[in-house]
């Protein structure tokens, strides 16, 4: 039985354009309407660190060291939950 497999992955710069197109958030991104999941700062091409696809939505993470750290522990936490099952 195929369990719902939600690969938790982060996406880096070279994939940004493709991802923006595919998810339909390109306009919001270009318009500066996307906020960092952790610090709520507006994320644009200058300060984007990563995208985190999650339950049908795309979270964006800025490149502040504390947000990057937070992202890493967040992803770890998620992984733990998945493997605990
Ligand atoms: Zn941030």
Per-residue pLDDT reduced to its tens digit, 44-67: 988 999 888 888 888 999 999 999
Distance 38 CA to ligand 1 centre (A): 5
Task: Please report whether residue 61 resides in a domain.
Answer: yes
pLDDT given at position 82: 79
Q: How confident is the model at residue 27 (pLDDT cuts 50, 70, 90)?
A: very high
* Beta-carbon neighbours within 5 Å of ion ligand 1: 36, 38-39, 41, 62, 64, 67
pLDDT given at position 21: 87
Average pLDDT, the chain: 84
Task: Please report whether residue 76 resides in a domain.
Answer: yes
Task: Please report whether residue 49 resides in a domain.
Answer: yes
pLDDT given at position 77: 92
DSSP structural state of residue 85: -
Task: Please report whether residue 79 resides in a domain.
Answer: yes
Phi/psi of residue 48, nearest 5 degrees: -70, 135
What is the span of the domain harbouring residue 66? 13-84
């Amino acid at each position: 039985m195929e369990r719902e497999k939600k690969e938790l992955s982060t996406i880096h710069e070279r994939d940004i354009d493709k991802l923006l197109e595919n998810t339909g958030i390109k306009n919001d991104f270009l318009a500066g309407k996307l906020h960092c999941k952790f610090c709520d700062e507006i994320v644009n091409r200058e300060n984007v660190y990563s995208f985190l696809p999650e339950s049908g939505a795309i979270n964006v993470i800025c490149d502040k060291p504390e947000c990057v750290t937070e992202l890493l522990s967040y992803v770890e936490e998620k992984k733990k939950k998945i493997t605990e099952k």
